[in-house]
Structure 1
Amino acid sequence: MEEILLLDWLPVKTTINSENYIEELTELRKAIKRERRGKLIHGVLLQHDNAMPHVSSKIMDTIHDLGFECLPPIYSPALAPSDYWSFREMERPLRAKRFDYFKRLEKEVKH
């Protein structure tokens, strides 16, 4: 809730699947450990939508193994309540800008 800890881009025309979601969760745990020292001990509440890769038994086992607690899926499969705040705040500096290349967009979002 303090700031974005991990931002990753899938290659164009790539769909999230269990394997790359597990990699993201593992990277998220590393980012929390690195950027929020001592907070893992208090637990991590993970909220995500109920898309198939997110609720598979493989993912749920990984979430448990990483020590995360998964909140129940929310009503909308497309947007978690946390996304409303995050994306609104990220959108403001990008409003009305056009990007010719994906790399320019990526650089601006990271900034």
Structure 2
Amino acid sequence: MFEPHGPKRLSGIITGDETWFPFFIIPLKRLNRMWVDGQGDRPVVLRPGFQSQKRMFAIFFNYSGPIVFDILPQDTAMTATHYVPNVLSQVKSAINKQRLKVSTSRTLFLHDNAGPYKARATTQSLRELGIQVLPHPAYSPDLAPCDFWLFAILKDRLAGRRFDRIQDLAKAVNSELRTIPEEDYQGVLRKWQIRLKRCMHRESSRVF
């Protein structure tokens, strides 16, 4: 599909997901590594508690960069009721702005198989927009660009910073999101294509 003379282009893909951002992101374990002698004490590494304050963010991007930045209400996860009017409405606006570059008929939508994405309201809304949804294997975060790339970068950059208000957290997340170069967004979609090819190759070489 995405070969040089294929019918589709990576520039037509819109992909994204949602994730929790704590108001304090504990640095990764690798950042806490240090040498200690036989008499020294091991460093104390904090772990997030299950009651840690956090908010869910939905972020979607295309070949040029982020197009959806949505903050869910406090203590709520993603549902189709929120997804359609808040996330897909921003997707529709982005498509309308770039019609001269990529027609709606060439737009490809990539999200995982979570409940809100498979709900009737979601699938109906995508059909009305005329967007083709790319198939995504279940339980495959290694084939979801947000999971294997974007969210890790954002949380790594925010690690060690504490936020007291959702406005400050949202501003920081959005700021880091906007500093990622356009070529990085293009590069991760090419990496996604390479990952697909590797999965296809492994499947075709399996012995049954």
Distance 1:79 1:105 in 2: 27
Distance 1:80 1:99 in 2: 31
User: Normalized per residue, which structure has more strand?
Assistant: 2
Hey, what's the Cα distance between the residues in 2 that align with 1:86 and 1:33?
25
- Residue identity (%): 25
Q: 1:15 to 1:78 in 2, by over 3 A?
A: farther
Measured after TM superposition, the shift of residue 55 of structure 1 is: 0.6
2:103 to 20, 25, 40: 40
Write the distance in 2 (CA, Å) between the matches of 1:90 and 1:59.
27
Give 2:72's aligned residue. Answer: 10
Unaligned runs of 5+ in 1: none
Where does structure 2 lack aligned partners over 5 or more consecutive residues?
A: 1-62, 176-208
In structure 2, how many angstroms separate the alpha carbons of the residues matched to 1:40 and 1:21?
23
8 Å contact kept, 1:51–1:77: no
Alignment RMSD:
2.2
Paired positions, count: 110
* Greater helix fraction, Structure 1 or Structure 2: 1
Higher-Rg structure is: 2
Q: CA deviation at 1:69?
A: 0.9
TM-score, normalized by length of structure 2? Answer: 0.47
Question: Does 1 or 2 have the higher relative contact order (CA < 8 Å, sep 6+)?
Answer: 2
Please give the per-residue CA displacement for 1:51-98, whole angstroms capped at 9, x wherever unaligned: 222112221111111111111133327786111222233234323222
Local SS of the residue matching 1:5: strand
State which drifts further: 15-24 or 77-86. Answer: 77-86
Which residue is 1:58 aligned to?
121
Q: When the two structures are superposed, what TM-score results if normalisation uses the length of structure 1?
A: 0.80
AA of the residue aligned to 2:165? Y
2:90 to 17, 27, 31: 27
